[in-house]
Structure 1
Amino acid sequence: MLLVGNGHLLSLVPERPYLADGAVAVEGDRIVAVGATAELRRRYPEAEWLDARGMVIMPGLINNHMHLYSTFARGMALKEAPPTNFLEILQRLWWRLDKALTLEDVYYSALIPLIDCIKNGTTTILDHHASPCAVRGSLEMIAQAAGEAGVRTCLAYEVSDRDGEEIMRQGIAENVEAIKKYRGGEGLLSATFGLHASFTLSDATLDACREAAEEVGSGFHIHVAEGIQDVEDALEREGKRVVERLADHGILGPDTVAAHCVHVTEREIAILKETGTLVVHNPESNMGNAVGCAPVGEMLAAGVVVGLGTDGYTSDMFESLKTANVLRRLVSGDPNAGWSEVPAMVFSNNSRIAERFFAHPVGRLQEGAYADIILVNYHAPTPITADNWFGHLLFGFNGGLVDTTIIGGKILMRARRLLHLDEAAIAARARELAVKVWERF
C-alpha cells in the first residue's frame, strides 16, 4: 500500500474539491481512501509513505484527443511551398508524414510524447493514429509503448479512403482486433474505433465501419467539422452538413468522440445532444491551423458533453486549459468567460469522456478511482481555498512544475526524474529514425 499526503489536496470531486492537508491511500492500481493526512496515517500505519512536502496533490490530467504519431514532424522542413489552408496542411504535411512511418517509427513516435505526458502530469490519453504504409500491428506498437511508459491510453486507428480500399480494410481490421483485445479491460489500455473525417470517408466505408463497430460494441473517435472543407464536402455529397451526415450513417452516439466540431450549426449541436455524442475541443490546434474556434459555450449550454484535448500539439494539458480559457474570452468578447466552462471541460467532462473507455473512474481522487496522481511543486503566494483553487491552477500551474507522477499506483517520476525509462537513449534512437523518416517524406 502507498500513502501520499502532507499536501494541498485537490480531489476534483464536487462535494469536497479541496483539503488543506490531505492524503490519498492507494492499494494496487486504485484509490482506497481520501482524507486528512493525520487520519489516514493513523488508519494505514504500515503503508509506504510518500511525503508531498506541502506540494499540491491532484489527479493526473486527461487528454481526450491526441496524435502520438506526429512526433517526427518536430523540426521537419516541408519540401514544397508552405500550406495556405487546412486541406493543404493535411496534404503537404500530415498525410505525407503518416505514410513515411514504419512500425518501429510508430513505437518511438509514441514513446517520446508518452514520456512528455509523464513529465507534464498527463496520465490518460485517447490517441488517434495513422500509418497507412504500416497499418497492421501499428496499434500493438502503441500499446507496447504505452505499457512500457505506463500511461493510460485508449487506442484507435483512423480509417480513411484516401489511401485506397485495401488500406481502408486494414484499418477496420486493426481497430476490431484492438477493441477485442483491450476494450473494457482492467489495465492501462483500452481501444475504440477510429475514423479520420467525413470528407475522406465514402458512404460505403461509413456503413462498413458502422457494421464492424456494431459487432464489437464500439463507438467511434472521429474528426468532425474541423475545417470548412469537411462541411463543403458533406454538402456536396449528400446536401447535409457533417453532423447530419454522420448521424444518418449511425456514427454518432454516447460512445463516440467527435473531435473539434468547429463548424457546427445550432441544429447540429442539437443532434450532438440528442445522440449523446461526446465532443473534444482542441484550442491550440484550431488556432494553429487557422480553422476557427468551436462554439464551446453554445455546446455546453445545450447540454453537450465537451471535453478538452490537444490534437498532438502538446502533451501539457495545463497549457491547453490556459489556451482554452483565453480563447474563450477572445471569441466571446467577454472577459469573464471561461471561469465555469474551462474547469467543466477539463475536470468534469474529460473524466466523463475517458470513463466510457476504462473500467474505473479517472481524473478524480476518490475511492475506487484509478490511482493516477500527480504532485505539483506550487507554493501558493496567496491562500488556496475550496472556492479559488482554479484561479491558482490557471495562473500558477504548468507542466514543468509537476514533481511526481503516479499512474495506476506506480510511481513513474519522482523529483522530476523518470524512474523506469532511459529518456536520453530513447531520444537518441528517435533522432536516428527521424532522419530516415524525413528522407522518405
Structure 2
Amino acid sequence: MKAIINANIFDYENYIENQYILFENQIIEVGAMENYPGALYEINAKNSIVMPGFVVGHTHIYSTFARGINLSFSPKNFKDILEQLWWKIDAKLGKDEIFYSALVAGIEFLKSGVTTVFDHHASGALIRNSLNTLKEALIDNIGLRGIFCFETSDRFPVRKCIDENLEFLQNNSQMYAGIFGLHASLSLSDKTLKTIAEEYNGPIHIHVAESIDDVDYSVSNYGLTVVERLNKFGLLRKNSILAHCVHVSEKELGLISKNNCYVALNVSSNMNNAVGLPNYKKMKTFNVKTIVGNDGLGFNFARELLALLFSMKLNGHSPLAFNLNDLKNVITNTYEIAQYYLNVKLGRILPGYAADFVIVPYTPPTPIDKTNAFSHFVYGILDNFKPSHGIVNGKILMENHKINLQVNEIYSIARKIAQRLWESLI
C-alpha cells in the first residue's frame, strides 16, 4: 500500500490540512496525520497541495508537431486556417507521427497536472488503427487516462472513419474509452450524417459553430443552423460533447439542453483564431452543461482555466459575469463526463475515488482555509502551477518533477519525425 503524508488536501469542495492518503489504484483511506497507520511506500507532501489531476474535455493531440512549423499562412477566415494549416498537417499523419505526438503530449500533459484527456483525432495517412496507436502511446506507455475518437469527415474516406470509431468503441476499461467523432458540419454531408445516425446510436464528439463560417455553410447549403442540422438526424444524444458553440442561437441552446449534451469551452483557441467567444451567460440561463478543453492549443491547463475565467468576465462585460462558482462548476462537469465514459470516480479525494493526484508545492502568503481555498487555487496555485508529482490509477508517473520515461530519447526521435513531416508539406 502507498501513502501520501503531511498533505494539505484540496478537491474543490474541501480543504483539509495535515492529512494522509492511503491508496492503491483507488483511494482507500483519508485521515489526520495523528492517526496515520503507516504504509510500505510514502510520499511526503509537506508544504504542498494534493489535488485531483485535471481532466481536459476537448483536445487535439495531433497538433503536437505543429509547434514551430513554417508554412505559407495568410488566412482571411477560419476556413482558411483549416485549409492552410490543420488540414495540410493532419492529411500527412501516419503511425509514427501519431505515436510520437501522443508520447510527447502525454509527457507535457503530465508535467502540467493533466491525468485524463478527451482527444479528438484526425490522421489522413492512417485512419484504421489510429485510435489504438493513440491508446498505446498515451495509456500503455505514459499511463494517463483517455477518451478517444476519430473526427469523421467527408475529406477522408468516410467508411474508414466510421469503422475506426465503431471498432474502437467495442473495447474500453477504466483507463480508456471511445466516443464517436465527427469533425464539423461544414465537412459533413447529409449522406454521411444519415449513415452515422443509422449505424450508431450513442453520443458524439463534434465541433459546433466554432466560427461563423460553420453556421453560414450550414444555413446556405441545408437551410438549418448547425445544431438544428444535428438534431434533424437525431445526433444530439445524451452525453455528447459539442466543442466551442461560439455562434449558437438561443433556440440551439434550448436543443442542446433538452438533449443533455455538454458544451466544451476552448477560449484560448477561440481567441487565437479570432472567431469570437462563447456566451456563457446564455448557456447558464438555458441550463447547458459546460466543460473545459483546450482545443489542442498547448498543454498548460492551468493557463486555460485562468483564460476561461478572465475571458468570460470580459465577454460578459462584468466582473460578475463569470465567478469562481461558475469556474468550479465547469471543472466539476468535466470530471463528471469523464466519469461517465470511464466508469470510475474522479475529481475528489475521498475513499473509493480513483488515485489520480497531483502534488503542487504551495506556501500561502495569506491565511487559507476551506472558505477561501478555491480563491487561493485560482489566484495563487494556478498562477504558478508546477506539480512535483503525478499519480494516475495509483501509479507514480512523475516524482520530484522527474517522469519515469526516457524523455530525452523520446523528444529526439519526435524532432526527427516532425522534421520529416514538415518536409513533406513543402
When the two structures are superposed, what TM-score results if normalisation uses the length of structure 1?
A: 0.93
Using the TM superposition, give the Cα deviation of residue 47 of structure 1 relative to its aligned residue in structure 2, in angstroms.
4.3
Using the TM superposition, give the Cα deviation of residue 156 of structure 1 relative to its aligned residue in structure 2, in angstroms.
0.4
Q: Residue 127 of structure 1: which of 119, 123, 139 is its match? A: 119
Q: What is the number of equivalent residue pairs in this alignment?
A: 422
Matched, 1:154 2:144: no
Matched, 1:21 2:18: yes
Question: In the alignment, what sits opposite 2:11?
Answer: 11
Runs of 4+ in 1 over 6 A off after TM superposition: none
Note the alpha carbon deviations across 1:377-435, whole angstroms, 9 max, x for none.
1111111111211221112224752110000000011110112x111110000100111
> Identical aligned pairs, as a percentage?
35
Q: Where do 5+ consecutive residues of structure 1 fail to align?
A: none
Using the TM superposition, give the Cα deviation of residue 195 of structure 1 relative to its aligned residue in structure 2, in angstroms.
0.5
For the aligned residue pairs, the C-alpha RMSD in angstroms reads 1.3
Question: In the alignment, what sits opposite 2:368?
Answer: 384
Matched, 1:404 2:404: no
Distance 2:255 2:29 in 1: 40
Which stretch shows the higher mean deviation, 118-127 or 311-320? 311-320
Give the alignment of 1:347-366 within 5 angstroms.
Answer: 348-366=332-350
Question: In the alignment, what sits opposite 1:374?
Answer: 358
Alpha carbons 2:58, 2:117 under 8 Å: kept: yes
Note the alpha carbon deviations across 1:65-101, whole angstroms, 9 max, x for none.
01000011100011x3421221100000000000111
Matched, 1:32 2:28: yes
Distance 2:34 2:74 in 1: 59
**3-state SS of 1:326 partner:** helix
Matched, 1:248 2:240: no
Distance 1:33 1:250 in 2: 44
Note the alpha carbon deviations across 1:114-154, whole angstroms, 9 max, x for none.
10111110001000000012111111110100120111111
Question: In the alignment, what sits opposite 1:210?
Answer: 197
Using the TM superposition, give the Cα deviation of residue 60 of structure 1 relative to its aligned residue in structure 2, in angstroms.
0.2
Question: In the alignment, what sits opposite 1:64?
Answer: 57
Distance 1:34 1:191 in 2: 32
Letter in 1 for 2:29: A
Distance 2:372 2:195 in 1: 49
Question: In the alignment, what sits opposite 2:106?
Answer: 114
Distance 1:37 1:237 in 2: 65
Question: In the alignment, what sits opposite 1:92?
Answer: 84
Alpha carbons 2:2, 2:39 under 8 Å: kept: no
Using the TM superposition, give the Cα deviation of residue 219 of structure 1 relative to its aligned residue in structure 2, in angstroms.
1.1
Distance 1:231 1:55, change over 3 A: same
**3-state SS of 1:337 partner:** coil
Alpha carbons 2:94, 2:124 under 8 Å: kept: no
Letter in 1 for 2:299: S
Letter in 2 for 1:33: E
Distance 2:124 2:91 in 1: 5
When the two structures are superposed, what TM-score results if normalisation uses the length of structure 2?
A: 0.96
**3-state SS of 1:91 partner:** helix
Note the alpha carbon deviations across 1:319-347, whole angstroms, 9 max, x for none.
1000001101111111233322112112x
Alpha carbons 2:3, 2:39 under 8 Å: kept: no
Give the alignment of 1:29-428 within 5 angstroms.
Answer: 29-39=25-35, 41-42=36-37, 45-78=38-71, 80-146=72-138, 147-163=140-156, 167-182=157-172, 185-186=173-174, 188-214=175-201, 218-339=202-323, 340-346=325-331, 348-398=332-382, 400-419=385-404, 421-428=405-412
